[in-house]
Each structure stands twice: as structure tokens, then as C-alpha cells.
Amino acid sequence: MARRWISVDGNEAAASVAHRTNEVIAIYPITPSSTMGELADEWSSKGRANIWGQVPSVMEMQSEGGAAGAVHGALQGGALATTFTASQGLLLMIPNLYKIVGELTPFAMHVTARTIATHALSIFGDHSDVMACRQTGIAMLASNTVQEAHDFACIAQAATLASRIPFMHFFDGFRTSHEVNRIEELDDDDLRAMLPEALIAAHRERALSPDHPVLRGTAQNPDVFFQAREAANGFHIDCPGHVRDAMDRFATLTGRRYGLFDYVGHPQAERVIVLMGSGAETVEMLVESLVRSGERVGVIKVRLYRPFSVEHFIALLPASTKAIAVMDRTKEPGAIGDPLFLDVVAALNEHGQLHPKVLGGRYGLGSKEFTPAMVKAIFDELHAPQPKSHFTVGITDDVTHLSLKVDPDFSLEESDVVQAVFFGLGADGTVGANKNSIKIIGEDTPNFAQGFFVYDSKKSGAVTISHLRFGPNPIRAPYLIREASFVACHQFDFLDKYDVLGYAEPGAVLLLNAPYGQNEVWDHLSAETQQAIISKKIRLYTIDGYTVARESGMGNRINTIMQVCFFAISGVLPRDEAIEHIKEAIRKTYGKRGESVVQANFAAVDAALAHLHQVPVPVEVSSERHPAPMVSPSAPDFVQRVTAMMLANQGDLLPVSAFPVDGTWPMGTAKWEKRSIATEIPVWDQGLCIQCNKCALVCPHAAIRAKVATPESLEGRPSTFKTVPYKGAEYAGMDYIIQVAPEDCTGCSLCVMVCPAKDKANPKHKALDLHPQRPLRDPERENYEFFLDLPEVDRHTIKSDIKSTQFLEPLFEYSGACSGCGETPYIKLLTQLFGDHLLIANATGCSSIYGGNLPTTPYTTNRDGRGPSWSNSLFEDNAEFGLGMRLAVEAQANEARRLLAALRDREVIEAGLADAMLDADQSTDAGLDAQRARVLTLREQLRDRINGERGEGDEARSQARRLLVLADSLAKKSVWIVGGDGWAYDIGYGGLDHVIASGLNVNILVLDTEVYSNTGGQQSKATPMGASAKFAASGKGHNKKDLALMAMAYGSVYVARVAFGAKDAQTVKAFQEAESYPGPSLIIAYSTCIAHGYDLAHGLDQQKLAVETGSWPLFRFDPRREAAGQPAMQLESGPPRGDVGKYMRNESRFRVVEQMYPERFKELLKGAQAHVLERYALYEKMAAKKETTS
Amino acid sequence: MMDLSTTYLGFKLPHPLIPGASPLSADFDTIRRLEDAGAAAIVLPSLFEEQIAAEAVGTSHHMLAHQDSHAEAASYFPLADEYAMGPERYLEHVRRVSDAVQVPVIGSLNGTSPEGWLDYARLIQDAGAGALELNFYHVATDPGEDGASLERRLLDVVLAVKSHVRIPVAVKLSPFFSSFANVAQQLDQAGADGLVLFNRFYQPDIDPDALDAIPRLHLSDSSELLLRLRWLAILSGRIRASLAATGGAHTAIDAVKAVMSGAHAVQIVSALLTHGPKHLIKIRRELSHWLEEREYESLGQAQGSMSLLRCPDPEAFERGNYMKILQTWKAR
């Protein structure tokens, strides 16, 4: 039977083989490899068997270290086992890789090669992770395309069984891993033919078994270790031969022939590029083109990188070669060259016969594009009279001048390929529709299709750019489209923000989703856009997609509507046929969700064409409107020069000199990015407002704020600026203001939901109602600017109650978190309370992405220039990282105090000042400010001493100099350790446990969404019973770990469990107590999340229900109370009331379990109900402890 | 032993007492207990098309809203394409109950779209229900829709469903029609096999402090039976379809009254929700005793005895006001 052609991405291509050829799969989610594990889990949970008829067991572990350990154990136990990982995850596996290699255990793992975090984290692709494993001895096999990711997964599995050398099969993360392409699928018979039973039997024979026991894992002494280490040499030497055999057998089976290295190019090439990974395809494409035009060039594609077969490499290199460029997609600072370069140099040296010039080049770090123009520049450099011996390509290095000059206009013509680019919004479904279009073209027509998707870093209002190619021949081109014949812009405003038409080739089609009729669209375009359309002779089509979607019951999902327009205009398929395929896909995707969903989609499809219009393009520009600048002209220089370029998608053009050398980044850049993503924003009715400040508290984006101001300060206010006399004695005579940031609000509506003030005559109207943003944008922008310029409320006058805290300036604002995010209100509160003396250690995860992902970041400073100083180390070490910060703070403070005392004793510093500083009570804002004032005086006295008359070199002067550097450390600093449940409950738990046991004064804030949010909804140990999550699709069968209880067991840790939506005052109290507690504190904060599956506008109600039903009990456990004879535990929510199902059934994560597995859900519900009662009873006992014993 | 047998929707039942559509019959174990308590038939809770559609669309939206919008997560839920949000769960319940119990199982359906009524009616039949109760739970809030077109819609649905399913079809109605007797007659002529009188609506309450509307469903009491008795009595003997009382039947006396007014079946919900399934045994025993004590031959003897056609004072059912003796004077 003929094999199937399927359209899949590299991850699915590799996972498909891995799942069918293994028995045990242990994984841990990490971008960009997570999809492989998720697919494996999905297939196993659907009962899909491997080629031997067994459903593989898929296990999510607590870390990649755990996954490697589990795989090692499974292999030792005689199973066929695999894992998938990338980047830091791969680093955590290294110790086990040494072991697995040392024990000669057949094992093929699959890696999406990803950047290792250095000066910054990058989720994108390069070879720095796989290159960090060279020394383990694992065999390394690189695939360059989606087809190869499929094929090499099989070849690696075959070769490892034959050679006993473990294999790392890798491909480029966020290129091959995420590129959708059409491939020929290997069927089960192919896989069976490649994996002889005898080799599997041999593997099982070697396994640990009490039936034929062996001992493995001894400790060896100096007398024998070395020899024993050399004993395996033969296996490594033979390995390339086994790979070659597997490749030959594979070729016989499938017709696809691969070598250990593959050469493409002129037989008498003079210039050759050597590289591995997807970039090799780009080189090959250009080589083919250059050879056709008579150039003597070639490329060696490295397949088997380790063990490196010098013999095979030399055999392929044309003897005519005069110059070689070896391209590494990694960087080893300080090395003579990057690793592949050194290998090639060594190979030539070992061979000794060929003496070409060898250049080392670096490209593509962190998924930097690698284009034919760059390859051209490399070949040109090989020609140059004095070529750069170690160059970079793809960037402009104006500091060390290593970069090659690239001709920006050079491109590779591919006449038979249609190229299309789509600008969409994450929430509008553009990417999903394009993935579907590729499937339709790739699987239902004879054409080949390729898709690649680019996302920005925001979690709300994210911009997506889809790159689609299709044509009659296989499509390689592992780089983004530069010139498309079809450009779709699914959001009208994008035309002003991004150079959308920069992608359009002359005569291209622009399909524009516009909220205007066909006769009005032209007039709404900017002059620049009109000019581009006219001069490029662009054919303009328009549709009011949102109206069509709304009328068809699709909400804001315009995906299928725009998809129909694409097919209708592009003519890839006859219209009717295309629509039929789209409808089939809709039925396939949504059929199980019910006919109503299918019908809404069908209605949208049917309505689309009637609303699609071609707009006649006038010959002249008529618009007088120009797009606003990317950032305000009042933004700082760095933001103007660097941030604005990144915001405009022009970051690739920034030279090396634009960047800080050590990853340090300026504060408060989010305020310059005005995204205007809300369609509706809150409007304040000051007459109704009861001035509770709850709106400001719940806002996830600090986009609605409260202030009081004196009448004088309000002079000159804008005409629409609203105020109302403050109700209350503390600010009598002042005016009260609630102000929205119209361009920063995401429209989540939490402020409106929490607003308690209703109009008595018309309760539908509240003190905050949502109104369309567009007409409000300009006046409210002016109002907000005026508001920000008003003086902040004096911190010393602010009481500690919930209302007053919202007059404190937030130093975390406008993050890219999801609209309605349940985590960010806690972080915002943290910065309001303690932001000016705060160090934050942030675990990798959502909070590090919205906290630190460029182009703009939300942590900012107050008017004194103080603010939270934030850093992210890793996912797994955050508690330790924060502990280190605390140790540093204390070390410096202790040293400063020692010096201060010494200088006091030497009468250099006034005794009164010194003693006041040493004894200062800094527990309040006033106390802290007083100490800061003393620091200023101290600095003056120290400077006087340093610059004074007494001679150089005296001890006092030296001490004064040192104290001057450390003077700030005499003012209090707080360390808060922030992260999600994946960190705190799973990968970082060991460290967290150690840190809370240390007794040191650190505060830990766990933003508990009960699931791995950032990587896409995998279960964690915080996932509650009954919730569906990846790796627990049928609903988690056991209880959430009680992290709070575990921490309370120490008796010396301050612990609180909070939910701001249920009891905000308790949340604030817990933060204040944790801060004041002199030892470790742990706050576990209920955080609503999009992964819970409901409209987060109801997040506050759900928090209330969670507390009311006992699913999320509230308490504070303060060991200080014990000294006063009171129980440390204060239980602050009542006994569970009602059925937990009342809470659970409001969220899709639980509800889908009930829908799919009703009987199981009944049991889980019963279990969850019993659990909340038992847990509450236990807490109740703890809260009553002292009363019963005293 | 008193003969309590009756015929409802063509089913020969040992007695008229049927647990009506309620959360009781949503639970498989409770259904078994109801059967053990002697329920003559069981009406399953209504499948609400509107709820199914809304939840399907809503869940689909929540699960898809963030799909493919961030580089690190293409989705946030497992098996997103596997979630069944249609009527499967209800149908599975119908199947399970129909297989497990011996008594007739009556499915119940509240549709919104014409396709919904037909498709779901057929699905419920195919899942094994012995009969179907069409639950016209509809609050007519649209001032633009007149009573005639609403009635037309009702009739069209009944006609269509009757032509699409083989099993008997009962229609559960509200009393809010200008001419209820006429509506009943038309439904009868359209082929309805039974009429169930009457629906009880959720009545929104008001929280005057929070200025919120709060949906409430109070359990019925016996006083609500009176409205049912009147209309049962008016219709009894005048239409072909069998009649059931629902709403307000709590005791054996209530059941006797309903049967005397013309009911072939008496649906009981609130009393069972309050006292549990076993309460059915008590009502049945007391019904039997009541008839025995008064030397009835069978329940059939009492069936319709107090209907408009047969009761000694039919005007009592027709009058709108309490009439004083003098005002009821008639020429003899």
C-alpha cells in the first residue's frame, strides 16, 4: 500500500516515530519540544499502540533531570525508552547521558535544538544546547527538514539498537520543530523492518533482572577506571558504520538516501560551506542556483556529527576545494573557534592531505534568520583576498566588526512557489486557519505546502505572522518570506504599526479586514499605506470580518472567514472545492463539540464571500493622515533608538553597539508601548463611585488607578478630566480620581465586575461601565497623562487597609500578561507595598515572560528612581537564587554596619548619626525614609573624610571609601522570590524546601495557577483532583499537594494562602506580615488563568466560590503568634459550604471531564469533596491547637 | 389489593404515580431506588438544547481563544478536539437507564431550533426512551411575537416531531395561553399522545441590597395543584390524548384529586425531593387505602369522575370569581 502524505510539523514528525518505537516515554515540558511529549501523551491516552501493539506509557516528571533518571531506569530495566527536550532541559539531562553512554544502552532521544540562556533567556533555536552534550559521547544526528525529522527519528532508533551507542536526534527549534510541511509518512511496516527483533531481544537480555542478575554502576578506583573507560572504544568506532547501514537499509525501503555527510554542489568545487541543521537547506538552495550559473561551489551537510567520521568527511570534500567556511549555530566565547569549525580543522589535520583555507562563521543564534543573501555573503567572503577568519553573518557587528556585509536586495527566485503572508492577532484564530489551509493544500491537492508562524512575546493581544508557501515541488526554504504575492492583514490597525506592505511584491494582493464598508476603506488608510498600494500596484480586497463573525455567532473568531477569502482570491483551489474542504475540516475539528459550533462556523464560511469586495485603487494619495510614531517623542533615548525599532519589527536591523554588553536592561519600558488592544474600556461615573479602590486593586495591568489630589494641583486639568470630593477624613478637602489608561487597558472588565456601586434607578449602570475605546482614546490619553503628573499620595499618610494601599504607586505596569491574568494583581500589589526596596528573584515561567520578555518590560521606578530590581536565573533554582540575593544583601549590610561602627569609634562619623543608623527601625515607610535620609548625610560625611586633609593610605580613609560604596545597604532591602506552581511544587521544590528551612529572611510568592501555564497547560503537582490538564486528560485522579502544610510543618515558616478576589484584605495582610516576618515566608496565591477555561471576567466570583466551597481555604500561619500563646494558624475562611461541584463546573478544565467521563468525574468530585472537608478539619484543629492545650 | 392501574401514553401502568423530570432522575442510582420504590414510569430530566448549544460554543471558545497565539504554547488543553459537548452525555444516560430499568422511560426535551427539536427527539428515541415528553419551557418575552405565532410554532414542532419518531409523544405546557383549551385541542389534533399540565418556571427573586436578580426554584406545595385540577377537569373526556398532572401533587389525596379531575398519570417531584424515593411507596399505599376505605372497585372508577363533563357542579371550573349562592341562581 502506498504510504500516506501528511502535513505535520517537525515535532509531530519526530514524535510519530518515537511513540511507535518505544515503550516508556518520560518527559518534562520545555519549549519548543513540549509538543512532542504532549502528542505522545495524547496518542497514548487515545490508546494508540506502538508497532508491537503496546500502548506506550507516558510519564510527566518533575524536571528534565527526573525525566532523564526515569529513562535511564527504564532502559536499565530493559524497556525501549525515549524522551524529548531542549535547552536548559537538555543540560539537566547531561549527567544521565554520561551514564547511559557509559553503559552502552540503546536509546534515541529527540531534541529541538534551542538556545541556552546566557545574558538573556531565549526560547528560540540554535545549537548551544546540543553542543553542550558533545563530551558525553552520545551519538548526535542532525535532521534539517520536517521529512528528515521523521526519517532520522527512525534511523537513530535503528542505529542505537545496532551500535549500542545512545543517540541524540536533533533538529532546529522554532524552525524545523514548528515548520509545517508535507512529508511521506513511514508506516508501521517500515519501522518494523528497520528495527530487528533480535537487537531488541539483545537489549532486554542485557537488562537488570533478578532472573539473570548483574551489577552495573560500580565505583572504580584509580587502578582500573581509565582502562575500563577505554574498553568501550570499539563501539564508538563502529557506530558510524551502523548508522551508514541503517541509512542504506532506509534508502532501500523508502528511496530516500542519506549519508553520514551529504555533499551537494559542483564536483570540482573550490568554495565549500560545511554546516548542519535547517540552515544547510538554505545553503543547498543557493548552491544549486550558483552551480547552474557556473560557479564552483558546494555544501557539506553534516548528518552524523558525533561520532565524527573523518574518513567519510574527507571522502566527500572535493579535492579541488580551496576554501571552506564552517558555520556554527552556537557560540563558545574564548574558544579558538566554535565546535564544528574546530572539528573540521582537526579532521583536515588528521587526514593531512588537503590544505584548504578554513574559515569559521557563526550564524542564526536565537533563531536569527539565515537567508540565501547571507549564504551569498559567505561564499563571497571565501573569495575575498583577506577573508575574516572568524566571522558572523546575519547581524551588523559594529563593535568587533566580525560581521559580513549582506546584500539586502539579494534573494533567490523560486518561480513555481506561491508565497503568502498573514498578519493576525493571537485571539482571532489566524494561525489555526493557516495550519488548516496547509493541511488542505498538502493533503487534498497534489501541491506541497509549507507553513511557519511567528509570534510576538505578548500573552494578550499577541501579533502573529504566518508565512505560507505552496507549489508543485517539495518546498525547503527554511527562512521567512520576504516578498509575497498575497498579503493578508487581519487587523486594520496593523497597517499603521507594522510595515505590512513591505512584504508585498509588486502587483500583490492585499486582503484587509477592515471595520469599514468597501467605499470607505480607502479613506481610512494612512497616506503612507495609500502610497505603497499605488506604487506597488497592489490589488486591494476588503471584508468586514468582525461583523460577519459576530453575525454568524463566531464572536471574534474571524479565522474561517479570512480563510475562505484567501482561497477565493488566491485560486489555489476552485472556490467550491476549497469551501467544501474548509467545511470538512470544521466538521472534523468541531463536530464533537456539537452541531451549534459547526453551524456557526458554516454560517461564517457561507457569509464570507458575499462580504468580500475588491476596492478600486485611485491613482493618487488622498489621505492626510500619518501613522503615529511608534513611541512618544518624550521617551528616553534608548527607547527611541532601540525599543521603538523592536516594536516596529525592525529589531533585526539594530547593530551590536545598540545593546548593553551584559544583558542589563532599562526599567519601565512597557509604558512607552501603547498597544490599544481593548475594544472597550471602563468609564468612571464619579457621582456613583463609593471610592473603595477595588477597581485599582484587581486590575492585572495597573491600567486603572486611584489618586487624591489637592484642588491646586488640579489646575489646568483637561476638560474631560473627572474628580469628586474625597469621602473621608484622612484626605479631607482633596479630590478623588479614578483614571483609566486607555491604551494600556486590555478590556478584561475585572474592574467593572468588582465595582459595587450601582445606580439605584438603573442598576445596570455602575460607577464603572465599559464603553468603546476608540472614541475615548484621545481624551482619556490626555487625562491619563495629566493624572500621572499629579503628585503621588504621600506614603507616610497611607494606612495599611485595602483601600489605602491602592493609593500607592504600582511599580509593575502594563505587562504583556493575558487579559484578566490572575497572577499580575499580586505582583502589582507587591510593588505597591514594597517596590522601592525590593529585589525579585523570578522563576522562569509566565511571570518571567510578562516580567522580562522584550521588547518592553513592566517593572518600573518611582520618582526617586527607586523600584524593584528584578532578575531571572533559571526555572529550577529560583528559591536558591533569591536566597543568594538575601545573603548578598546581608553580607553587604553587615560589612557596612561593621565599617560604620569602626568609623564611629574613630570619630570619623558622628556617633549620633552612626548609632541612629545602627539602631534604626525600618519596619515602616517613615522609618525607611528616615534611614535613607541618614544615608545621604553619611555619604556627605564620608566624602568629607575621603577628600579631607589627612594623608592617603590611612585605614580610616580606606574604610570610608568602602563604606561609601556600601552605604545604601544600610537601608532595608526585601527579597521576594516569585514564581509559578510548576517551579514551586515541581522542578524547584527541593530548593524551595531548603530555602524555607534555612531560616533566612526571604519571602516566597507562589502564583498558583494549578497548571503549567506558560508551556501550555501541563499538569503540575498543584493541579487539583478532577481537573483536566495535559498528562491528565481524563482529570487528575489525586489531590493537589498541600505545599502550605508541608511548609507549616517546620513551625518556623510564615505561611499564608490567599485569594485576592475572595478576601482582598487578607491578601494585603499576608503580604505585610510576610514582609515583616524575620524568617522565611511563603505565600501561596490563587491565580486564575486562561488554562482554567472560562471567561476570566468571572475570575473574582470563581475565587469566592473556591474559598466558599473549601477548594481554596484561606489562612495565615504566623509562628510569632506562638510566643503570645496563640495558635500560629489563623483560619480565615469558613467551613466548606455547598458542593465543590458548584465551583468546579464553572470551569472547562473540570467540566470537560464531566462531559467526557461522567462516571469518573462523579468519583473525582466525591474525592474532591471529601478532601476539602478533611483538609478543613485538619486546619481547624491547627487553628484551635493552643486553645485546647492551654 | 386495590386495582390502581391506568393507561398513560399507551403504556399500561400498575398505578398512576410517576417521578417527573427532576434532578432525581438525573442520577442513575436514584433511578434504581425509584424503580425499587415502585415508580410506574420514569421521566428523565430535560435535555435543554439551548444549554447544550451555549455550553458547546462557550467551551469551544474558552478552549480555543488562546490557541496558536503564543510561541510557547499552541494550546492550553489536552485533546482539545476530543471534548464532546453535544447531547452524548444525556443520550448515554437514556441508554443506561433504559437498559437498566423495567418500567417505561420517558425522555424529556426542551428545544430551541426546529432542527434541535427533531434531531434530539430522534436521538432520544434511538437511545431507547419508551416515550418522549416535549417540554415547552418558554418565557415569551418578545413583545413583537403574538400569541398566535407562538402557538403555531408549538404546533409545528409537535407535528414535525410526531412525524419523525415512532414513540409516543407527550407535551408539557405552561398555563399561559389566552385559550388554553383551544391550544390543547389543537395539540390533540396534531397527534400529541399526552398533555402534561403544567410546567413550573424558575421565578427570579430580587436581592434589594445588592440590586441583583436571583434565579430561584421553590419546591411546589399542594396549593399549586388547584390550577392543574381545573384544567384537567376541563380537558378530561374532550381530547383523545392522555393527561398527566405535574406540579403540586404531594399526597395520596392530591393524587386522587388529580385522577378524579381526569389525569391518567400523576407526576411527583417536590415530595420525592423532600422525602426521598421511598416516599412513593407511602403515597401508593395511602392511595390504595383511601380507595379501599371508600369501597371503590378500582382507580379507573374514579378517573375523570370530577371532570367538567361528569362533576355535579361544572360551573365551578368555569367561573373566574367566587360566587355567592344568590349569584349562582339559575332558572329551573
- Asked if residue A609 and residue A556 are part of one domain, the reply reads yes
- Asked if residue A851 and residue A762 are part of one domain, the reply reads no
Beta-bridge partner residues of B17: B266
Residue A1177 in domain: yes
What CATH number did the domain enclosing B312 receive?
3.20.20.70
Asked if the C-beta of A439 comes within 8 angstroms of chain B's C-beta atoms, the answer is no
CB contact under 8 A, B86 and A595: yes
Q: Of the ranges A60-74, A503-517, B139-153, B201-215, which one carries the lowest mean pLDDT score?
A: B201-215
pLDDT of residue B56: 78
- Asked if residue A332 and residue A201 are part of one domain, the reply reads no
Please, which residues 85-144 of chain B have a Cβ atom closer than 8 Å to chain A?
85-89, 92, 115, 119
Q: How far apart are CA A52 and CA B319, in angstroms?
A: 81
Asked if the C-beta of A453 comes within 8 angstroms of chain B's C-beta atoms, the answer is yes
Residue A657 in domain: no
Beta-bridge partner residues of A487: A421, A510
Mean pLDDT for chain A overall: 95
Question: How far lies B99's CA from each of A993, B15, B43, B63, in Å?
Answer: 54, 22, 15, 35
Residue B231 in domain: yes
Q: How far apart are CA A600 and CA A651, in angstroms?
A: 40
Which of A234, A262, A29 is CA-nearest to residue A144?
A: A262
Cβ-Cβ contacts under 8 Å, B69 against chain A: 425-427, 431, 455, 459, 462, 464
pLDDT in tens, A305-346: 999 999 999 999 999 999 999 999 999 999 999 999 999 999
Q: How far apart are CA A226 and CA A229, in angstroms?
A: 5
Q: Which of the residues A43, A453, A1155 would you substitute to probe the B interface, choosing the one with the greatest number of B C-beta atoms within 10 Å?
A: A1155
pLDDT of residue A541: 97
Give percent above pLDDT 70 in chain A.
Answer: 99
- Asked if residue A751 and residue A863 are part of one domain, the reply reads no
Q: Comparing A277 with B320, which gets the higher pLDDT? A: A277
Nearest to B85 among A1013, A1094, A1155 (CB): A1155
Find the closest chain B residue to A1096 by CA distance. B62
Average pLDDT of the residues in A562-583: 91
* Contact indicator for A745, A704 with CB cutoff of 8 Å: yes
What CATH number did the domain enclosing A178 receive?
3.40.50.970
- Asked if residue A684 and residue A758 are part of one domain, the reply reads yes
Asked if the C-beta of B73 comes within 8 angstroms of chain A's C-beta atoms, the answer is yes
- Asked if residue A574 and residue A428 are part of one domain, the reply reads yes
Residue B1 in domain: no
Average pLDDT of the residues in A491-506: 95
User: What is the number of domains present in chain A?
Assistant: 5
A172 conformational bin, left if phi > 0, alpha if psi -120 to 50, beta if neither: beta
Residue A626 in domain: no
Find the closest chain A residue to B86 by CA distance. A594
* Contact indicator for A29, A1012 with CB cutoff of 8 Å: yes
Q: How far apart are CA A746 and CA A748, in angstroms?
A: 6
Which of A588, A587, A1018, A31 is CA-nearest to residue B78?
A: A1018
Residue B123 in domain: yes
pLDDT in tens, A1132-1156: 999 999 999 999 999 999 999 988 8
Looking at A253, A283, A318, the residue that finishes a domain is A253
Write down the residue that cell numbers 572568524 correspond to: A390
What CATH number did the domain enclosing A458 receive?
3.40.920.10
- Asked if residue A275 and residue A244 are part of one domain, the reply reads no
pLDDT of residue B85: 63
pLDDT of residue A593: 67
Domain that holds residue B173: 6-328
Question: What element of type H or E holds B195?
Answer: strand B194-197
Which of B224, B176, B252 is CA-nearest to residue B2?
A: B252
Closest CA–CA distance from residue B90 to any residue of chain A (Å): 10
Q: What is the pLDDT along chain B (332 residues), one digit of tens a residue?
A: 799 999 999 999 999 999 999 889 988 999 999 999 999 999 999 888 888 778 877 887 888 888 888 899 988 988 666 666 678 888 989 999 999 999 999 999 988 788 888 889 999 999 999 999 999 877 888 999 999 999 999 999 999 999 999 999 999 999 999 999 999 999 999 999 999 999 887 778 899 998 998 877 788 888 999 999 999 999 999 999 999 999 999 999 999 999 999 999 999 999 999 999 999 999 999 999 999 999 999 999 999 999 989 888 777 777 655 555 555 555 55
For A591-656, the DSSP string reads GGG-HHHHHHHHHHHHHHGGG-EEEPPPSS------PPPSS-TTS-HHIIIIIHHHHTT-GGG--G
Residue A901 in domain: yes
Average pLDDT of the residues in A278-291: 98
pLDDT of residue A557: 86
Q: How many CB atoms lie within 10 A of CB B10?
A: 13
- Number of A/B CB contacts below 8 angstroms equals 154
pLDDT of residue A1187: 47
Write down the residue that cell numbers 522565611 correspond to: A1080
What's the complex ipTM?
0.90
- Asked if residue A908 and residue A892 are part of one domain, the reply reads yes
Residue A1162 in domain: yes
Domain that holds residue A1112: 813-1190
Q: How far apart are CA A772 and CA B95, in angstroms?
A: 49
| Range list of H helices, A639-749 | 644-647, 694-698
pLDDT of residue A326: 98
Residue B118 in domain: yes
Residue A738 in domain: yes
Average pLDDT of the residues in A141-149: 98
Asked if the C-beta of B53 comes within 8 angstroms of chain A's C-beta atoms, the answer is yes
Q: How far apart are CA A652 and CA A1113, in angstroms?
A: 49
Residue B262 in domain: yes
CB contact under 8 A, B57 and A596: yes
The pTM assigned to this predicted structure is: 0.93
What CATH number did the domain enclosing A286 receive?
3.40.50.920
Question: What element of type H or E holds A1149?
Answer: helix A1148-1156
Find the closest chain B residue to A452 by CA distance. B71
User: What is the number of domains present in chain B?
Assistant: 1
Residue A620: pLDDT over 80: yes
What CATH number did the domain enclosing A675 receive?
3.30.70.20
- Asked if residue A1008 and residue A870 are part of one domain, the reply reads yes
Residue A620 in domain: no
pLDDT of residue A1188: 45
Looking at A765, A788, A808, the residue that finishes a domain is A808
Residue A407 in domain: no
Name the amino acid, one letter, at A907: E
CB contact under 8 A, B85 and A592: yes
Indicate which residues of A carry an active-site annotation: 31, 64, 114, 1014
pLDDT of residue A226: 98
Asked if the C-beta of A553 comes within 8 angstroms of chain B's C-beta atoms, the answer is yes
Asked if the C-beta of A431 comes within 8 angstroms of chain B's C-beta atoms, the answer is yes
Cβ-Cβ contacts under 8 Å, B78 against chain A: 38, 41-42, 45, 1017, 1028-1033
Closest CA–CA distance from residue A429 to any residue of chain B (Å): 7
